Amino acid sequence: MGTMSAARRPAPALAGLIEQYYGYRLHGYAPGVHRGLPSRHVTFIVSIGSPIDIAAQTDPRQAPGSYRCVLSGLQASPALIAHDGNQEGVGIELTPVGFRTLFARPARELWNTTVELDDVVSHVGSELWERLQVTPNWADRFAVCDEILTRLLRPDLPEVAPELDHAWDLLVSTGGTTTVSDISSATGWSRQHLTRQFTDEFGLGPKLAARVVRFERARRMLQAVPPHISIAQVAAVCGFYDQAHLTNEFTYLAGCTPAQWLRSEELPSFQYDDAHLG
């Protein structure tokens, strides 16, 4: 078994829209299925070599599919991704605000849905996929992403309302522990107006979005902490009432308990902090 990975921040013009690029290469693992879990990012992955094979979509009404350049909206349930033990690609951590800016439409349009990038912006996904197949190293692959995605920026396109941008930043910066009332006060909007506008832009309400952000923080921490740190301790740090609360949220959003997920995750996960990003 072997792994190789790298990460880099995007070009300055894309800052705030894309948090980072990450490249991954895994080989020699046992074939299987892993979970694509809810996240604060819009899923945006360019495969290198074999396509990404989604065996079960987040919305069971959507048929399974294989994707070269996959784009999925925010979600509150897991997808199941089949693999033959070998995977390679570039992940693009696209924010929901960045989705609107790059693709001129609200992230709501892809809520709980998976598509090829070409279905959103004609030919862009094909160009991105084709060029990454023949680009041999991570630095040059990230540069290709910068070049193609920067081309999508247009000053004449409408942006996300500043209040919604601020609301999303609050959710992320607090790890999902802020309340809808706090966000309402910070934006100057009523709770009802905030919820309507937030849902219309992102596809889910602020309360569910906070749950997803808090879950993602706990999930990343569970992967990163040493074995002597308990699930109960992670729950306390991440703002859950207790371990049972975290377990219930994990079951709802991931389809399994934290302990089950930790035992079943057969592939490594790539996480990068600010000190390791270029």
**Domain made up of 162-264: CATH architecture:** Orthogonal Bundle (1.10)
pLDDT at 155: 84
pLDDT at 275: 39
pLDDT at 3: 75
CB atoms within 10 A of CB 246: 25
CATH 2.60.120.10 in the chain: give the residue spans: 2-155
Q: Enumerate residue ranges in the chain where pLDDT < 50.
A: 274-276, 278
User: Is 97 in contact with 105 (CB distance < 8 Å)?
Assistant: no
| pTM for the structure as a whole | 0.93
Residue-averaged pLDDT of the chain: 93
**Quick one: three-class SS letters along 151-208?**
CCCCCCCCCCCHHHHHHHHHHHHCCCCCCHHHHHHHHCCCHHHHHHHHHHHHCCCHHH
CATH 1.10.10.60 in the chain: give the residue spans: 162-264
Q: What is the pLDDT of residues 106-124, one digit of tens each?
A: 999 999 999 999 999 999 9
CATH topology of domain 2-155: Jelly Rolls (2.60.120)
pLDDT at 173: 97
